[in-house]
Amino acid sequence: MDAVQAIPATLRLGLIEGDGIGHEIVPATQRVVDEALAVVGAAVQWVPLLMGLRAIGEHGDPLPEQTFAALDELDGWILGPHDNVAYPPQHRSGPPPGGAIRKRFGLFANIRPARAFSGVRTRSPEMDVVIVRENSEGFYADRNMFAGAGEFAATPDVALSVGLITRAASERIARQAFELARERRAHVTIVHKANVLPLTMGLFLQSCRDVGAEFPDVRITHEHVDAAAAHLVRDATDYDVIVTENLFGDILSDLAGELSGSLGIAASINCSLTKAMAQAAHGAAPDIAGHNRANPAALFLSAAMLLRWLGRRNGRTEWSGAGARIEHAVETSFESGVATADLGGLASTSEFTEHVLARVHRR
């Protein structure tokens, strides 16, 4: 991590509701963050920003330049889900809003924990793994070219895709993984497919190993992505921190999230060395939007990760403490049997939020 920066007096956070259930879970998350920060005596200034259908209606763009400009001045932000399938046809092409934000601010690391909670049905009750996903290149066509896309059609019947792996990006994400492992159980698994992609995946594997040599206290293993997927299902306790490329990380983190209970509890942050964004792993769920049925837990936990990240970077233990309070409040809510319908519970979005708010004070 980079050196501690000048400590701001008030935490300034962006708030982007997005689409679908974002209009319910983002305001709920704001309330929970407000409460946790108030308990530890920290001040926060919220900056509401537009993205998605509302932004199209007001600015003719799902991600207007005004939003980009405001984000540049903030410490971090909370991003709701987007539903670009519902956008007018002229706004469906190109990277989705979340991807455009990641690219604009160089958010090269996607940190996705998958953890089982007592009180939540799970196929892997001992699950506690963090997947560190390289977020800026790989096989994603919207992130691997300077101009244009890395996916194209040679003829109407032949399509090709370019995968990009660089030593610099591979070493950068590996360093994030090894630093994180030092805070956990000191084990990093490098997931790759170098047996059939020896140049690209071989470069990724070797770059990660080279960085690992700087961390002699961290155990290093490596696996092919297909084997890793099978082993996650069989026994997730074999893993602590997994580092992998973009596409593999996307797939494995969704698998791990479901094995731990549900994507409804799958938190994540996207970060560079200077900026971070809380964004739940799930989508906009337009079928239940507006019915007070959405599960806000993943975004609560993502916001907690953001507060911890900002606290470490700025030397503000109270921000980290607020994040810990939110995590504890979600955990104890589940333990007490409070959950939304997707987890087999009876609580509405607002009821679950109230339970979490009450428990923020108990730690």
Mean pLDDT value of segment 187-205:
97
Paired residues of 113 in beta bridges: 130
Instruction: Of 12-26, 45-59, 80-94, give the lowest mean pLDDT range.
Output: 80-94
Task: Report angle CA 226, 178, 182 to the nearest 5 degrees.
Answer: 120
226 is catalytic: yes
Report CA-CA distances (Å) from 360 to 55, 290, 301, 326.
Answer: 33, 26, 13, 6
64 DSSP 8-state letter? -
Given a contact cutoff of 8 angstroms between Cβ atoms, the answer to whether 132 and 204 are in contact is no
Residue reference for tokens 């070219």: 145
Residues found in the chain? 363
- Both tokens of 106, joined, read 């160089």
Which residues have C-beta within 8 Å of that of residue 354, sequence separation ≥ 6?
none
pLDDT tens-digit readout, 36-79: 999 999 989 999 999 999 999 999 999 999 999 999 999 899 99
pLDDT (mean) for 145-174: 90
- Among 34, 142, 238, 254, the active-site one is 254
235 is catalytic: no
Residue bearing tokens 């956990």: 184
Domain 123-260 in the same topology as domain 1-108+274-363:
yes
Alpha helix stretches (DSSP H) within the chain: 22-39, 53-59, 65-71, 97-104, 167-182, 200-212, 225-234, 246-260, 297-314, 317-335, 349-359
247 CB burial (10 A radius; 0-12, 13-18, 19+)? middle
Q: Which residue out of 19, 250, 275, 342 is catalytically annotated?
A: 250
Average pLDDT over residues 261-283: 94
**CATH of span 1-108+274-363:** 3.40.718.10
Angle between helices 22-39 and 349-359 (to 10 degrees): 10
Per the residue annotation, which of 75, 83, 140, 342 is the catalytic one?
140
Q: What pLDDT does residue 363 have?
A: 64
Chain centroid offset of residue 164 CA: 22
CATH class of the 123-260 domain in this structure: alpha beta
The predicted model scores a pTM of 0.92
Active site residue 61: no
Q: What residue segments make up the domains of the chain, in order of their start?
A: 1-108+274-363, 123-260
Please, what is the average pLDDT of the chain? 93
Burial class (CB in 10 A: 0-12, 13-18, 19+), 224: middle
Active site residue 103: no
Q: Dihedral through CA 102, CA 103, CA 108, CA 114, nearest 10? A: 30
CA 43 and chain centroid, separation: 24
Give the pLDDT score at 362: 81
128 is catalytic: no
Per annotation, catalytic residue among 19, 193, 239, 275: 193
Of the chain, the percentage scoring pLDDT greater than 90 comes to 85
